[in-house]
Amino acid sequence: MVIPMAEPFPDDVQELLRALDENDRRAEDLVRDLDDERERARRQGAVRRGPIRPGPLGRWFVATLEPPPKRRLPAPKKIVPALRKGKAEVMAEWRRAQVAVKDLLREAAGLDLNGTRFVNPFISLLRFSLGTGFQVLPAHQRRHLWQAERVKGNPRFPAPSVQSSLGSR
């Protein structure tokens, strides 16, 4: 879900929820793939040798996700939210995703995050280190939080037609 740059805010709170939901879906896929590779690295005894150092492609990819967006990119079709979810459900999923990321980071402590690589679940031609994958997650989250703050800070938000629905979602 991309909030158009020309439009100061979406017409509806649902757009914010869709952006958070898309972030949850992306995080779930990425966390699953990172966890699979983390487990493989643990079994192979890949011990940490230093701080995370992404290569040039990894640095570029992470930079493209940082807010503010430099250009609009559509979400991959496999993660575009199809269902209208309520605020409580989206926020519960957001919190679960945060816990999953924290658990994964804790379990990866001490492993070689530079030498262990995985296939990007959204752009299968790209392979990144686990370390780069761990940098992608918060960069992408910052982008969606930036979008939400931008919407929330607009004096026309929430739209009068939406104000009554805020408590029910």
Contacts for 48 with CB less than 8 Å, ≥ 6 apart: 109, 110, 111, 112, 113
Predicted confidence band at 169 (pLDDT cuts at 50, 70, 90)? Answer: very low
For the question of whether the overall pTM of this predicted structure is more than 0.75, the answer is no
* Pick from 18-27, 67-76, 122-131: least confident: 18-27
> Among 28-32, 58-62, 93-97, 161-165, which range has the highest average pLDDT?
58-62
Q: Across residues 36-43, what is the average pLDDT? A: 92
Distance CA 83, CA 35 (A): 27
